[in-house]
Homo-oligomer: A and B are copies of this chain.
Amino acid sequence: MSFSTRSTSVAGARLGRLETPHGVVDTPQFMPVGTQASVKSLTPADLHAAGAQIILGNAYHLSLRPGADRIARLGGLHKFMAWDGPILTDSGGFQVFSLAHLREVDEGGVIFASHIDGAPHRLTPEGAIAIQEQLGSDIAMAFDQLVDPGLATVAVADAMERTHRWAERSLAAHSRPNQALFGIVQGGIDPDLRRRSVSAIAELPFDGIAIGGLSVGESKSEMGATMRVVADALANDPRPRYLMGVGSPLDFFVAVEHGVDLFDCVLPTRVARTGQLWTSQGRLNIRNSRFQDDPGPVDPECRCEACATFSRAYLAHLFRAEELLGYRLATVHNLTYTLDLMRGIRAALADGSFVSLRDAVQARYGDAERVPKPPITDR
């Protein structure tokens, strides 16, 4: 893997080009989430049409079902899901702590109960790396320990220190050629801890640096302040920076200003399945009764299949009738919006219009986030 950046008119922000065994990724870039080897309801052809350059899979989910060994026997994750572009796999650290029924954490790793059937499993840094090597992703992630940033500093520090030790073990365990490995910075929202974590992770020979532990309950200002701390501490580190689990339109701008190159988030696809559509005019809830008679497209400025083919009235009907096509079209639309926004951000970084683009999106997405529960979760 190679990564080159060039500076932009925005201090701290950068334009980059990430070369992977499965193709090039222009950064800043958003990675649609294919948790269970499927970006919900979409085919690889749909993802290409939406403009996806790289997607994310999840070691936690895939190791439980269908099994990393099974995917390996079937030729790896790319072949299994028929996606020929780059894939980044998360290590499972986040899911073990957020989703599974956690049984026990010790220095060795985590014992947890599967969210599927309650069966006990053990995940360690070495195991998480082995799983990702079996999956054959282009980019693997170190195994980390997530904690609630609202816990006492000593508890956050404890998990962070363990994350650093697990980072070293992840590196030592990693052996697959043609697979990059990123480390994960933790430390909650405490500036001192974050600086210590950046220092510890950045001194290790990772291929990229991820910022973990954000968008887990802290306020937007706490998130912004933490990104500032991380950006300052990383300074001119040339490696790709990946902000994990963050993906609202406004968050992108804040993060890009702090040098973030890669994003992933279930938000665009999850809210799509509840009928919340992201448009050039802001958010739109297609379940709103006023759309039932609206013959116009969801977003007249959007090029996606949903907007090119169907009316708001039709989508409003599909959602009310709980038709599967509604979830699919909403997902295609929100991903296209997100990927086009990211492309717009790259263009704006290149031509100096970043601030005016940010202000325009701010004007339309300035209200508080609403993240309703979808009918079918990403888990």
Contacts and interface: CB of A to CB of B under 8 A. Distances in A.
A169 to B, nearest CB: 30
Nearest to A329: B43
Contact of A321 (B65, B70, B73, B82): B65
Given A37-B317, A43-B305, A317-B66, A74 B311 contact: yes
A292 interface: yes
Interface string A294-323: 010000000001000111011011101111
A376 B311 contact: no
Interface string A317-340: 110111111011100000000000
Copies in the complex: 2
A320 B320 CA distance: 26
A36 B323 contact: yes
B324 A376 contact: yes
A328 B41 contact: yes
A293 interface: yes
A75 interface: yes
Interface string A30-43: 00000011101111
B321 A36 contact: yes
A304 to B, nearest CB: 12
A30 B376 CA distance: 32
Task: Select the residue from A42, A309, A314 with max chain B CB neighbours within 10 A.
Answer: A314
A44 interface: yes
B318 A38 contact: yes
A127 to B, nearest CB: 21
B305 A65 contact: no
B38 A325 contact: yes
Interface in A68-89: 70, 73-75, 80-82
Contact of A293 (B74, B292, B324): B74
Contacts of A309: 43-45, 82
B40 A323 contact: yes
Contacts of A41: 41, 323-325, 328
A159 to B, nearest CB: 30
A293 B65 contact: no
B292 A66 contact: yes
A318 B293 CA distance: 35
Contacts of A320: 65-66
Given A293-B70, A295-B74, A325 B40 contact: yes
Given A40-B325, A80-B313, A324-B376, 19 more contacts: A36-B321, A37-B314, A38-B325, A43-B305, A43-B309, A44-B309, A66-B292, A66-B321, A70-B293, A70-B313, A74-B293, A74-B295, A74-B311, A75-B295, A80-B311, A80-B314, A82-B309, A82-B310, A324-B328
Interface of A: 36-38, 40-45, 61, 65-66, 70, 73-75, 80-82, 292-293, 295, 305, 309-311, 313-314, 316-318, 320-325, 327-329, 376
7 contacts: A41-B323, A41-B325, A43-B305, A66-B313, A66-B317, A70-B292, A81-B314
